[in-house]
Amino acid sequence: MFTGRSKAAFIAALLGTAYAIYSITYWAGVGGSTQTTTDSAEAIGAGIATLLVLPHVIVTVLAALFGVIGFFNRSAGLTLTSAILYSVAAVLFFVYAVFLVPSIVLGFVGYVNQKKLKKASD
């Protein structure tokens, strides 16, 4: 499975996908229909919180998607795009940036490794 593929890129994609799934389920529970409230101020606050975190979640899901596609296609460019998008997602919602640091670091390491593996196979 790892022949010609970077293990660091795989771990980055795996961690990013796990965090994206966690983030979607968490924020869907906060702003979704699982929590019913009778207080309109609380509902407005939950809606504002969801809107503030929505760009972070969207970019994280895109980064995870690019990471998985980059790993299976052996594409160094898609792996680099994934690492950059993880960095952008961390800046968009700095409170949860600590969860993306391993994916960012492993994504850039995976890019370098994938580039070396591709050059060695040519």
pLDDT, one tens digit per residue, over 21-60 is: 999 998 877 655 555 666 788 878 878 888 899 999 999 9
Domain assignment of residue 46, yes or no: yes
Q: Rounded CA gap, 35 and 62, in Å?
A: 27
Which of the two residues, 111 and 50, has the higher pLDDT score? 111
Which runs of E-coded beta strand occur in 15-109?
none
Over the chain, what is the mean pLDDT? 90
Instruction: Using alpha carbons only, give the angle 69, 18, 44 rounded to the nearest 5 degrees.
Output: 115
Task: Give the domain extent around 108.
Answer: 7-121
Contact 20, 61 (CB under 8 A): yes
Number of domains composing the chain:
1
pLDDT, residue 3, reads 84
Measure the CA dihedral 40/43/48/52, to 10°.
Answer: 170
Task: Name the residue among 117, 122, 87, 116 with its Cα closest to residue 102.
Answer: 87
pTM: 0.88
3-state secondary structure of 119: helix
pLDDT, residue 31, reads 52
What is the percentage of the chain residues whose pLDDT exceeds 90? 70
Domain assignment of residue 63, yes or no: yes
Domain assignment of residue 1, yes or no: no
Domain assignment of residue 47, yes or no: yes
Average pLDDT over residues 85-111: 96
Q: Rounded CA gap, 14 and 92, in Å?
A: 21
